[in-house]
């Protein structure tokens, strides 16, 4: 969980009080809230009435998914072997912990150990804990969210979980979870003329949730009931809770693009978002059009904090072909590795290709000759980002490809093969945004050739339809060199794959 989320945990009660409500306000990987907020499972040893030591049981439990990567807390920046942590348990009952208890501990994880003047490690503050393996009830989840200062009751002390939550309340809650730093420093989204970009006329400046709704609109997390109406006081449905939450977690361009692809593949709104939520165990079988109760939102928020989903999105990689030009006739083994699955190969890929490569590029497998090795597949977690590239009109498409492919190192035959495959598809659009995304592609798809070529040229193009008015930073391409034993691979995809 990030610092901005922790700030939310500490400040959400102020928002709750102001609104007099319980609340303050093929596929895709939903990231749990993470960063400096850590969750570890270990064994308890009591030290004193307000101190415990949490010790490692296994490597698997002694780690946490943080910011999309697995962080192993055995090692920290001072290189100390970290097989245990000391926690301050002042906020818990004196007899809450016993030697040998196995618990899930929630705490702030600092990158280095802090020591007192006498050399003792300063305990980390234990935010919350749960007995490991215990069946979690709705009462436990409420207690967890209360302890984390997310939930607070009415003046009568009750949470009234049976009551509904409004669109404004849920939007504010999610914005504070994912964009708390922005919420604390936000002064408005302005256009080039200095005018605030905010279309919802039913959310005046004095509305308690205006800032959060404005940020959510700016971040493309929410949609209005129509062009200029948001209806902040209207109850929100399960499907819209799920949609807002999943959109909010996609806070980077690559995530947003991957989410868009996944949702479209899974049926669009709302079905795509609901499938992602179910696969990630955020929801079960709730009726999508049902008005969300506070109890159902407790379930959703608890799951967002505690699940570590491994659901991923895929991109279709189209026609990567591999040419081999040894300096003398050579037996060559070629292997392609990626997270995903082949959808077609030719010749058949049997744990790799083994062929006899001739100097003119002819490849022999058995008694059959091939001009190149061909494959297509679904590659997980590859997402092109058009941060640079070229805006190309229909009439310039062929000359553009001839020029750029020649610069990248493709010979006349390879350019002709590329253009006869991709040219007709590009020409369906009046304009295309084109990027040679080889570096990112190569980070997802490895190519191993034995014996190793002297020159390896890989070209991977991605494109999307454009209207001709877009502006993009022009991509700088490096010249491809062909020396000695040359291997060439080209392929591509579209953002609609």
pLDDT tens digits, one per residue of 86-143: 999 998 988 899 999 999 888 766 544 566 666 677 888 888 888 888 888 888 888 8
The gap from C-alpha 239 to its chain's centroid, in whole angstroms, comes to 20
Token pair for residue 297? 């939102």
Which has more pLDDT, 241 or 17?
241
Q: What is the mean pLDDT of residues 441-461?
A: 96
Which has more pLDDT, 126 or 362?
362
Residue 329, number of CB atoms within 10 A of its CB: 12
Alpha-helical runs (H) found in 253-395: 253-265, 271-279, 294-306
Spatial CA neighbour of 334 closest among 234, 437, 254, 451: 451
Q: Tell me, what's the pLDDT at 113?
A: 53
Alpha-helical runs (H) found in 89-206: 138-147, 167-178, 180-185
The gap from C-alpha 352 to its chain's centroid, in whole angstroms, comes to 31
pLDDT band at 68 (very low <50, low <70, confident <90, very high): very low
Nearby residues of 5 by Cβ (< 8 Å), 6 or more positions away: 33, 35, 37, 177, 178, 180
Q: Tell me, what's the pLDDT at 2?
A: 41
Look at residue 11 and tell me whether its pLDDT is greater than 70.
Answer: no
Q: What are phi and psi of 199, to 5 degrees?
A: -90, -15
Q: Is 298 helix (H, G, I), strand (E, B) or coil?
A: helix
Q: Tell me, what's the pLDDT at 74?
A: 34
Note the pLDDT tens digit of each residue in 145-198.
777 666 766 667 777 889 999 999 999 888 887 787 787 788 777 777 777 789
The mean pLDDT value of the chain amounts to: 82
The gap from C-alpha 63 to its chain's centroid, in whole angstroms, comes to 19
- Cα 61-64-69 angle, rounded to 5 deg: 135
**Could you tell me if 315 and 493 are in contact, meaning their C-beta atoms sit under 8 angstroms apart?**
yes
Rounded CA-CA distance 206/90 in Å is 40
Note the pLDDT tens digit of each residue in 311-339.
456 778 888 999 999 999 999 999 999 98
The gap from C-alpha 351 to its chain's centroid, in whole angstroms, comes to 30
Q: What are phi and psi of 30, to 5 degrees?
A: -80, 120
Look at residue 294 and tell me whether its pLDDT is greater than 60.
Answer: yes
Which percentage of the chain shows pLDDT scores above 90? 49
Q: How far is CA 203 from CA 131, 186, 228, 496, in A?
A: 44, 17, 10, 35
**Could you tell me if 191 and 185 are in contact, meaning their C-beta atoms sit under 8 angstroms apart?**
no
Residue 184, number of CB atoms within 10 A of its CB: 13
Answering whether pTM is above 0.75, one says no
Strands 390-393 and 431-436 turn out to be antiparallel
């Amino acid at each position: 969980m990030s610092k901005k989320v922790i700030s939310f945990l500490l400040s959400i009660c102020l928002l709750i009080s102001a609104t007099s409500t319980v609340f303050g306000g093929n596929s895709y990987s939903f990231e749990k809230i993470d960063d400096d907020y850590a969750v570890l499972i270990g064994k308890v040893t009591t030290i004193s009435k307000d101190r415990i030591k949490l010790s490692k049981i296994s490597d698997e439990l002694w780690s946490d998914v943080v910011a999309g990567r697995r962080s192993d807390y055995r090692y920290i920046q001072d290189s100390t072997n970290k097989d245990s942590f000391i926690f301050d348990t002042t906020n818990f009952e004196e007899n809450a912990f016993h030697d040998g208890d196995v618990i899930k501990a929630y705490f702030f994880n600092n990158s280095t150990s802090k020591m007192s003047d006498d050399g003792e490690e300063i305990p980390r503050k234990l935010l919350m804990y749960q007995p490991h393996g215990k069946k979690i009830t709705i009462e436990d989840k409420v207690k967890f969210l209360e302890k984390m200062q997310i939930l607070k009751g009415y003046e009568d002390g009750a949470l009234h979980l049976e009551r509904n939550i409004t669109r404004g309340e849920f939007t504010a809650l999610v914005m504070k979870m994912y964009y708390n730093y922005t919420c604390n420093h936000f002064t408005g989204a302005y256009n080039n003329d200095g005018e605030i970009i905010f279309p919802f006329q039913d959310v005046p400046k004095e509305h308690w949730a205006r800032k959060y709704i404005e940020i959510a609109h700016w971040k493309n997390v929410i949609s209005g009931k129509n062009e200029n109406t948001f209806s902040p006081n209207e109850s929100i449905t399960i499907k819209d809770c799920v949609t807002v939450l999943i959109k909010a977690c996609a806070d980077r361009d690559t995530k947003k693009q991957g989410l868009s692809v996944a949702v479209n593949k899974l049926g669009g709104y709302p079905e795509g978002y609901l499938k992602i939520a179910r696969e990630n165990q955020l929801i079960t079988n709730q009726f999508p059009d049902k008005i969300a109760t506070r109890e159902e939102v407790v379930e959703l928020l608890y799951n967002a904090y505690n699940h570590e989903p491994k659901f991923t999105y895929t991109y279709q990689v189209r026609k990567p072909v591999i040419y081999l030009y040894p300096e003398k006739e050579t037996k060559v083994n070629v292997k392609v590795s990626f997270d995903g699955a082949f959808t077609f190969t030719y010749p058949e890929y049997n744990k790799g290709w083994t062929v006899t490569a001739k100097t003119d590029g002819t490849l022999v497998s058995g008694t059959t000759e091939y001009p190149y090795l061909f494959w297509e597949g679904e590659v997980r977690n590859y997402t092109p980002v058009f941060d640079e590239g070229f805006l190309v009109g229909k009439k310039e498409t062929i000359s553009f490809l001839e020029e750029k492919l020649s610069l990248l190192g493709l010979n006349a035959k390879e350019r002709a093969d590329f253009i006869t495959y991709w040219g007709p598809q590009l020409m369906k659009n009046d304009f295309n945004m084109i990027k040679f995304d080889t570096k990112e592609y190569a980070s997802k798809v490895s190519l191993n050739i034995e014996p190793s070529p002297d020159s390896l040229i890989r070209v991977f193009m991605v494109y999307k339809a454009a209207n001709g008015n877009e502006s993009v930073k022009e991509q700088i391409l490096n010249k491809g060199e062909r020396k000695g034993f040359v291997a060439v691979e080209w392929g591509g995809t579209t953002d609609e794959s």
